[in-house]
Amino acid sequence: MNETEIIQTLLNIRFTDVLDILIVSIIIYYLLKFLAGTRGWQILIGLLILLLFWIVAKIFQFETLGWIFENLWSIGIFIIVVLFQPELRRGLAKLGEKGIFKFLSPSNKKVVDDVIRACLFMADRKIGSLIVFERTVDLTNYIEGFVRIDAEITPEILITIFTPQTPLHDGAVIIKEKKIAFA
């Protein structure tokens, strides 16, 4: 491709082409972000390795290997659905629960108020507490040794968890999706 053809191609790019590429890039970014650190990520790496083998088979004209991969790709959508079933379920559940326009949802005022009330109560009594809110960074790697709580957030529960002489008082609390997930 010479310089004139490159310039001509660039001049033919429409706004919709740029928008299309931007949307696909955003989808791929969030898909990779969603899969990072999960079993699905390992499966995706495995599928990419298979794709690499298929490309090598095509380049070196390995007939049998090429035939196997051609037939494998024809049922690929079913394989992907089966392999990524947990991630698909989790992703669709999150989409349904938060929606595409989650930034329009009402604030978490009750959660914040309950945590503040608990913190003020504990501060008056010099009770230490470490409360972590999971937002965009997955905290799954840090929950070793924690106890699953999965309870609604109330000042009473938070105070009980951090009260000295109770089994969980020396730890922290992880709040995830408006619930006390772990302590």
Q: Is 62 helix (H, G, I), strand (E, B) or coil?
A: coil
pTM score, whole prediction: 0.44
- Count CB-CB contacts under 10 A for residue 174: 22
10-residue block means of pLDDT along the chain (183 residues)? 86 90 91 80 85 90 87 78 79 67 58 90 90 81 84 93 84 86 87
| The dihedral sign for the CA sequence 169, 174, 176, 182 | negative
Give which of 76, 80, 55, 79 is closest to 66, Cα–Cα: 55
Domains of the chain: 3-104 (no CATH), 109-182 (3.40.1700.10)
